[in-house]
Structure 1
Amino acid sequence: MSLARTLVDVRPLRTSPVFRRLLIGRTASILGTFMTVVTVMFQVWDLTHSTVWSGAVGLAQALPLMVVGLFAGSWADRGDRRRIFLVATVGQAVCSLLLAVQGFTGGVPVPGILALVAAGSCFGAVGGPAAGVFVPRLLPKDQVAAGLALNQVTAQAMMLLGPALGGLFLGWFGIGVCYLIDALSFGLSFYGAFGLPKLPPEGEPSRAGLHGVLDGLRFLAGHRVVRGALITDLAATLLAMPMSLFPLINEERFGGNPRTLGLFLSAVAVGGVTATGLSGWVTRLARPGAVMLCGAAVWGAALALFGFTSSAWVGLGLLVVAGAADSVSVLSRTTIVQTRTPDALLGRVTAAEQIVGQAGPHLGNLRGGLVAGWTSGATALITGGLLCVLAVAYVATSTPELRDGATAEPE
């Protein structure tokens, strides 16, 4: 296989100027968002020195996505997705601008800061399902997976760069400037989407309110391939999410060295960025379901093996493998969802995928912490990884069309 076919497929950047502008705006917005994540955590801790309030930051970000998400998906399937995304982007920019104002002026209590974070997350929950239709509507079918890979590799790069820049800018300029940069980044996101054509749903629009939400859930329950893809993601995150276990594993096996802990956290991200950067061969394959299942199984197996090792270097290697496998699995899952869901339902299904992606890791970290409290960090990691492999094997055997089928027309 040639190097050009191994590296991430950049055809969408050459063939679609609209996609190119959209990707630039999205990348800037993600960078600003991760700078704000660090800034909010720093500000709340600086004001309270309370782990309870620090934990509330995560809830303020995640709960609106879960509560608003499905209804937002139904809304996205009734109207012009472009307009909905632009409105949501303006809302997020306003929330970031208000955070910047309080950062410069001070005096806002912590609940007020969290309320602004939650409001921004609500707008994000609305914009996410609307944006879920952009790639399959803008690109030819044979470039959809490549477009999703470009989205993923830029997002992962910003996940690495954003917190580091956030920390530097906090030290140099203070919290107000970091929030202001995030607000400006939404301006680039708005510019990227402004040139899109109107994107009303193709087919029958969603019914209003709860009826539309239930229609989306019925589709998920009845479509075996899409349902299997989301269940696989839940198996990987709910059963095997390792982040909450890293400090305990580091203490149990590696003497509690903070530098080792930092490398553990970075190794997963490095594996993910590397795999996505070399995803050209993945996006050109015609069996994303099989790739997704293999990736999720390798993720679980690598984490289980990490629980057994007493060598820091071997452990880091296993975490790089786990991060790479997870990245390939996520890319393949997103490709399945985007290409097997009818356009008229894509907002609701994207909202469900967004909820799974947000809730699964949080619940998985909680599961790992509880099991570790009853046993040990290594036991929690090993059992979680093995359960993930078993769950993925069950999905593979019970859903042959996911395992064997090529990416096909929406059913």
Structure 2
Amino acid sequence: MHGSTEGPELNPLRAYLMGTGSWFVGFGIQMVTFAWLVTMVLDASPAMVGVAQMALLTPMLILVLIGGGLADFLGGRRVALVAQGLAVLPPLLLALVIWQGQLSFATMVAYGIAMGSVSAFLTPARDGLLNDVASGTVQQAVVLAMLVQFIGQMVGIFIASFATRWGAVTVLTFQGTIFLVGVLGFARIPRPEVAPVRRHTSMLTELRQSIVAGYRVVAGDPATRTTVLQNIAISVFFIGAFIVTIPLLVREYYGGDSTELGWTNGAFSLGLVIVVALLTRVPDLTHPGRALIVAQATGAVALAGAGLGVPFPVFVALILTWGAFGGVAMSMSRTIVQERAPADSRGRVLSFYTLSLMGAGPIGALFNGFMVGWIGPRHTLVLAAGLMFLTMVVVALTSQLWNLKGHTTDS
């Protein structure tokens, strides 16, 4: 049961999706504008593009476990509400700096650190809330949340694709404003009647104990452990390629700007949306681990094709295909972890999931940035895809993930 909340009544799941959708509209804007400002407006070198993206991802590595512990300690709703509110400030401050004509690489690094820090606290808190508001099976709720996430990203990417025409100040101001909508959404999620359990210890002790407990849950479950480990490869090879290599490829090989970046990011998100929408129409998959492995390996083949110097329309189509298989993989990996996480440590377990998915991102950003400087963006994209394919072959041959059966009841 839930307690009352202030303001007009709103279905808890709809309120959750309102907050989630708002964040990912803003995140979609950030995907394009951050890469555009660093790669094309500031004309940074490949290595410095990697450094800038590392600044965006490093706070996740440092803070996400603390964020998950705080979500369990203080309650996910409270942490999500505060973090979403703080997210309003960085884009508005960056817009002010650009309006004053003071944009610099250091400014972008500071923005990246600020947004990365907010995300580290918001993500595990928001993800942990999903089980509380879900009205069907966990897999159904996960797929619905991801559908809203990717549609939101597409909307944000579409808006950001006009950054060259409208100007960064306009787009960033809209980004900050849309984050406010998410604050209203999370505020409409009812407060739990029972407050989160507090022990007679300090908050730091509680956080340390919660992180250790979360690690034990992850390490003690083979399916969760394998899913978390393969997420690290995703972070290094796939996410690193997406945020560093692909923008550099668009700049250096296709001669693009924010419009072409918007097409590329939009195609990826469209692929995600199409598949996740289809997943809402079919019964829960009985072997989520098998679907995860096949989707990751097939997506790697599509990504390798995008690095072969194909015409831009074919490149966009291959990125869309990669995104489609990514939709299956991301849905299944999150479902596996979400279903198997104990209710009393869900925030901590999901913080490890987020850490594995994003925490190795700084390594991936640097790896891709320096490899582009060494062998060029096309060859780097093929290399990253090939290494990811090999990783999934190893996972299929050495883990129990292939035969894992999913839950079909509420969690």
- Common topology (TM > 0.5): yes
What does residue 191 of structure 1 align with? Answer: 184
What does residue 336 of structure 2 align with? Answer: 336
Q: Return 5+ residue gaps in structure 1 as ranges.
A: 1-15
Structure 2 residue matching 1:133: 3-state secondary structure: helix
What does residue 218 of structure 2 align with? Answer: 220
Q: Shift of the alpha carbon at 1:261? A: 7.2
Cα pair distance change 1:355/1:410, threshold 3 Å: farther
Contact conserved, 1:371 with 1:380, CA < 8 A, in 2? Answer: yes
Q: Shift of the alpha carbon at 1:378? A: 5.9
Q: Shift of the alpha carbon at 1:358? A: 2.5
Deviation track 1:121-148 (CA, whole Å, cap 9, x = no partner) reads: 3222112111111211111452x22222
Deviation track 1:135-172 (CA, whole Å, cap 9, x = no partner) reads: 11111452x22222232223223333323313536744
Contact conserved, 2:54 with 2:366, CA < 8 A, in 1? Answer: no
Q: Shift of the alpha carbon at 1:362? A: 5.0
Amino acid at match of 1:135: L
1:118 aligns with 2:113: yes
What does residue 77 of structure 1 align with? Answer: 72
Cα pair distance change 1:230/1:402, threshold 3 Å: farther
Deviation track 1:298-336 (CA, whole Å, cap 9, x = no partner) reads: 122333455568677766554433221111100111111
2:25 aligned to which of 19, 22, 31: 31
Cα pair distance change 1:287/1:93, threshold 3 Å: same
1:168 aligns with 2:162: yes
1:290-301 equivalences under 5 Å are 290-301=290-301
Identify which of structures 1 and 2 has the higher relative contact order when contacts are C-alpha pairs closer than 8 Å and 6+ apart: 2
Between the aligned partners of 1:176 and 1:250, the Cα distance in structure 2 is 23
1:338-377 equivalences under 5 Å are 338-361=338-361, 363-364=363-364, 366-368=366-368, 370=370
Cα pair distance change 1:212/1:157, threshold 3 Å: same
Deviation track 1:159-213 (CA, whole Å, cap 9, x = no partner) reads: 33323313536744x5444333233222211111112233578889795233332
Deviation track 1:347-398 (CA, whole Å, cap 9, x = no partner) reads: 1222222233324455345445555666676655445434323322332333
Cα pair distance change 1:56/1:373, threshold 3 Å: closer
Task: Return 382-391 or 86-95, whichever deviates more.
Answer: 382-391
Between the aligned partners of 1:179 and 1:285, the Cα distance in structure 2 is 39
Between the aligned partners of 1:63 and 1:127, the Cα distance in structure 2 is 15
Between the aligned partners of 1:49 and 1:371, the Cα distance in structure 2 is 18
1:60 aligned to which of 47, 55, 67: 55
Cα pair distance change 1:21/1:405, threshold 3 Å: same
Between the aligned partners of 1:30 and 1:65, the Cα distance in structure 2 is 17
2:174 aligned to which of 177, 181, 187: 181
Query: With structure 1 as the length reference, what TM-score do the two structures score?
Result: 0.78
Cα pair distance change 1:322/1:46, threshold 3 Å: closer
What does residue 278 of structure 1 align with? Answer: 278
CA root-mean-square deviation: 4.0
Q: Shift of the alpha carbon at 1:345? A: 2.0
Between the aligned partners of 2:36 and 2:313, the Cα distance in structure 1 is 31
**Identical columns (%):** 21
Query: With structure 2 as the length reference, what TM-score do the two structures score?
Result: 0.78
Cα pair distance change 1:104/1:346, threshold 3 Å: same
Count the aligned residue pairs: 392
Contact conserved, 2:79 with 2:121, CA < 8 A, in 1? Answer: yes
1:22 aligned to which of 13, 16, 25: 16
